[in-house]
């Protein structure tokens, strides 16, 4: 099966950014873009709800390395 030209890789909670980059390289991709999204938790406050940030989700977009095509 042919690999996709672009692929997204999410940094898992149990790995470091370096681990994710190593995983990308092992699969034949090089990073071209880094995206970060805040993850919020909903907490009730009196009669309203408040959204509290709990962590950042980091996603790398990778492109297939030329020799892997």
Give the start-to-end residue ranges of the domains of the chain.
Answer: 6-68
The pLDDT of residue 47: 83
Give the dihedral sign, CA 47/50/54/60. positive
Residue-wise pLDDT tens digits, 22-48:
999 999 999 999 999 999 999 888 888
Q: From CA 6, how far away is CA 68, in angstroms rounded? A: 12
The pLDDT of residue 68: 53
Look-up: residue for tokens 């996603």?
59
The pLDDT of residue 48: 87
Using an 8 Å Cβ cutoff, are 22 and 5 in contact?
Answer: no
Q: What is the pTM of this model?
A: 0.76
The pLDDT of residue 25: 95
């Amino acid at each position: 099966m042919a690999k996709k030209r672009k692929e997204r890789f999410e940094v898992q909670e149990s790995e470091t950014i370096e681990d994710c980059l190593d995983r990308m390289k092992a699969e034949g991709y090089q990073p071209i873009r880094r995206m970060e999204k805040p993850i919020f938790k909903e907490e009730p406050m009196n009669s309203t709800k408040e959204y509290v940030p709990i962590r950042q989700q980091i996603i790398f977009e990778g492109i297939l390395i030329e020799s892997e095509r």
